[in-house]
Structure 1
């Protein structure tokens, strides 16, 4: 008989959701686990239907039973499923797939699992953590189901009843964390926002609410989850960030909020681009554009087009980049800020100008002709200069990125003095925030300045960057 190593009070919602998705009954799973155990030469593993009910109720089977269950479910579905996917891993996994059933119970369980296991450990884009993120088909194929997913029926729960004021409180806290992230970077408040997300997930799991309130609650938790993911991304916790983004996307799906889902996908696209997975970043933007095509606001459409321009430029698709930039500008002119949701407040003229400025910088960098390279660089400097002029005072990290963008554009055309001046300002700002992303961009600038290292200003620039990044 399969024994147990510990008992968990809460039902295993992930296992329940996957068994439902695979259409496997308790009796069928018991038979299949026994069959696989016999085939593997394992004796004494003969679970009953009652034992399967206990697993679904939260009992943790001893190894190797969790892997046998995962093999059974994966065989039925036709693709691999891990122990962690089924909620049967004893620690936070590094091999979990990014897929989840599009069901509220699974979404709540995944958020709870992520928030419970979080610890602050600094990483960079070259860390083992960054290398562990899901990419390519492994990431994109499960997310392709997002445009087709529909909100599930929300069932009543036994806890205290919550109302609109509770949802508004979560949204207010989300706004505070978003502002803190803009001012100070993601390192400082990451643990706090994850703790807040854990509390919000507990409300989803235990409170009683009607259908309308449930939808707005899922939306509020999705937005809070996107901020938690963004702070984790900014702190260099790439694996955790990806998991948070994916569960936030599921929560947005349960809320029926496609525009919020598109916002979360663009966050994921920025992370993929930061880690060098540019084709994946462009695919995520395309998925966001398709999935939210009937629901996206003008700001959402303009933001996605501006990022599309940037990623096309990185991939050397200059014509497509310029076309997307034109679309972004046209769509931006139609925005009415009063009609935009809070999560899009960041996308103002400064943000669009910065995004397009980087797109022109990248295009200039890869342009072999001096005359056209200089023209593109001039456009980049103009866009980035406008972004800086329009940035609100509290967007400290964004200002650091803008100055770094200007420095890198100056280097593209060999203007070492200009690069040195902008880098000095960026480093001053970097001293006031906790952002691994800014540190990564500084490291890129350090490498790009190497061809000019014989010039005193370039040598000093590289020394200051090395000192700043090495001591954080």
Structure 2
């Protein structure tokens, strides 16, 4: 009925999905037997003890993995969306697990396998926000329901895993700090040049780090630190994929990184990953999901978030409320962000929050005011536009030279604010600067913002400034003229 692997480990993924289905071992064995008989498969009649062997790591012979997948998928209402790989079984074409967002919490082995799969199999493909890839990201309850347990999930006990393995090396603080230094280097490269160029290198580094998690020994403290470092590196890999327009890949990387953060017992990194996911969902126009992800981050990290994290999450909350037309809530959240920012002590902030400085706060709230101006009328529109211009101007004056992509976003924010109040010439000037910066980086996110600006300028197409703005964007970005 099956063969034991050379290095058998409990099949945490199968256990997770079996528990989710509500079936007992006996019921699963009976269902497999019945389905095999109906298919004409002879000699397939597992009992409860055989199911326990599968859960302990035995791989059943074909067609049993496919039968189990069908049965559990039907009980869960997932149909063919559940795969053999999702259950921790080798795929006939060697396709590993991790296509599903619903990975088990408190299962470090499943987290390691999911990250290893992604870093082995990912290839770079030229996607943009409007490709089928972007339309196949998970959203709504399909996205939020599997993530809710993060807020209260505890890490699995690493000491038990260590006793079961045959170590091929030992990990100490030196290796962990080395990985954090490499992560900082990749994050800097992303800020300077965009995510496209370095994405494969980050995935390769993640693969190496995951191999250390899987094959080496470490104390519990060092193991937690290593999981946390891998999670932070995963956030960079997901962010680069997002910037490259590979949205499905980005979402899957963020999910596995979130699980790694949980195994590292690092709610602060988890909150950071969730805000990355929120920005992606906003970019894809799933604005309610973006707001829900921020709320989950705020709740889950409420006892662990630094002032910078709280300020960052509140500033994003302000932006998403503005998009949804909740202008009073947007202003309240902006006030909370500014209050929390005043409590920041830079030396006490985690490394992954280094990007959130006064410039980033000003830019995020400035965009919220820009969106509010677009959604307002009369005196309120004028007031919101003035706030936006002031805060985005502050952001630009404080931006370090290497934050090229951020500067491009700031100029685009100014251009869109000018358009919101009909100042087409101002929008044209800011667009010219943004296009110069765009030429120095490789970022599909900036391209998408340029397309949005191009479309927003349509209402002013009767003016020469708007016509010039739109033509310049069309020359730089592939746009379908409207």
Structure 1 position 82 matched with structure 2 position 82: yes
In structure 2, relative to structure 1, the CA distance for the partners of 1:203 and 1:415 (3 Å cut) is: same
Contact 1:354/1:383 (<8 A) preserved: yes
Shift of 1:241: 0.4
Give the corresponding residue for 2:119.
115
SS at match of 2:418: helix
In structure 2, relative to structure 1, the CA distance for the partners of 1:372 and 1:91 (3 Å cut) is: farther
Give the corresponding residue for 1:332.
341
Structure 1 position 441 matched with structure 2 position 449: yes
Within 5 Å, give how 1:249-268 maps onto structure 2: 249-268=258-277
> TM-score under structure 1 normalisation?
0.92
Q: 1:100 aligns with which of 79, 100, 103?
A: 103
| Deviation by residue 1:150-208 (Cα, 9 ceiling, x = unmatched) | 01111213221111101111101100000000000000100100110011111111111
Give the corresponding residue for 1:323.
332
Within 5 Å, give how 1:392-431 maps onto structure 2: 392-431=400-439
Contact 2:318/2:365 (<8 A) preserved: yes
Shift of 1:73: 3.7
Distance 2:116 2:11 in 1: 11
In structure 2, relative to structure 1, the CA distance for the partners of 1:59 and 1:41 (3 Å cut) is: closer
In structure 2, relative to structure 1, the CA distance for the partners of 1:314 and 1:94 (3 Å cut) is: farther
Q: CA RMSD in A?
A: 2.6
Structure 1 position 233 matched with structure 2 position 239: no
Give the corresponding residue for 1:202.
211
Distance 2:98 2:206 in 1: 23
Distance 1:179 1:78 in 2: 43
Contact 1:116/1:198 (<8 A) preserved: yes
Contact 1:13/1:109 (<8 A) preserved: no
Contact 2:227/2:263 (<8 A) preserved: yes
Distance 1:303 1:12 in 2: 40
Distance 2:327 2:51 in 1: 60
| Deviation by residue 1:36-79 (Cα, 9 ceiling, x = unmatched) | 333x544336054669847974758545x434212444567787
Q: Which moved more, 1:75-84 or 1:312-321?
A: 75-84
Equivalences, count: 465
Distance 1:411 1:328 in 2: 26
Distance 1:455 1:387 in 2: 29
Contact 1:30/1:46 (<8 A) preserved: no
Distance 1:222 1:446 in 2: 37
Give the corresponding residue for 1:162.
171
Contact 2:11/2:54 (<8 A) preserved: no
| Deviation by residue 1:364-411 (Cα, 9 ceiling, x = unmatched) | 1011x2222111111111110000001111111100000000011111
Give the corresponding residue for 1:147.
151
| Deviation by residue 1:72-116 (Cα, 9 ceiling, x = unmatched) | 445677877711422445476999431100110010010011111
Shift of 1:362: 0.7
Give the corresponding residue for 1:214.
223
Distance 1:58 1:11 in 2: 8
Contact 2:418/2:424 (<8 A) preserved: yes
Within 5 Å, give how 1:170-185 maps onto structure 2: 170-185=179-194
Distance 1:273 1:467 in 2: 26
Structure 1 position 455 matched with structure 2 position 463: yes
5+ long unaligned stretches in structure 2: none
Distance 1:380 1:94 in 2: 45
Give the corresponding residue for 1:468.
476
Q: Which moved more, 1:52-61 or 1:273-282?
A: 52-61
Q: 1:312 aligns with which of 311, 321, 326?
A: 321
Give the corresponding residue for 1:354.
363
Structure 1 position 131 matched with structure 2 position 135: yes
SS at match of 1:432: coil
Contact 1:161/1:208 (<8 A) preserved: yes
| Deviation by residue 1:194-245 (Cα, 9 ceiling, x = unmatched) | 1100111111111111111100010000000110000001000100100000
5+ long unaligned stretches in structure 1: none
Shift of 1:118: 0.4
Distance 1:288 1:229 in 2: 17
In structure 2, relative to structure 1, the CA distance for the partners of 1:47 and 1:152 (3 Å cut) is: same
In structure 2, relative to structure 1, the CA distance for the partners of 1:45 and 1:344 (3 Å cut) is: farther
Structure 1 position 18 matched with structure 2 position 11: no
Give the corresponding residue for 1:384.
392
Contact 1:15/1:56 (<8 A) preserved: no
Shift of 1:33: 1.7
Contact 2:15/2:55 (<8 A) preserved: no
Contact 1:85/1:97 (<8 A) preserved: yes
| Deviation by residue 1:110-148 (Cα, 9 ceiling, x = unmatched) | 001111110000111111110110000001011111112
Contact 1:388/1:402 (<8 A) preserved: yes
Contact 1:29/1:52 (<8 A) preserved: no
Distance 2:141 2:6 in 1: 34
Distance 2:40 2:416 in 1: 60
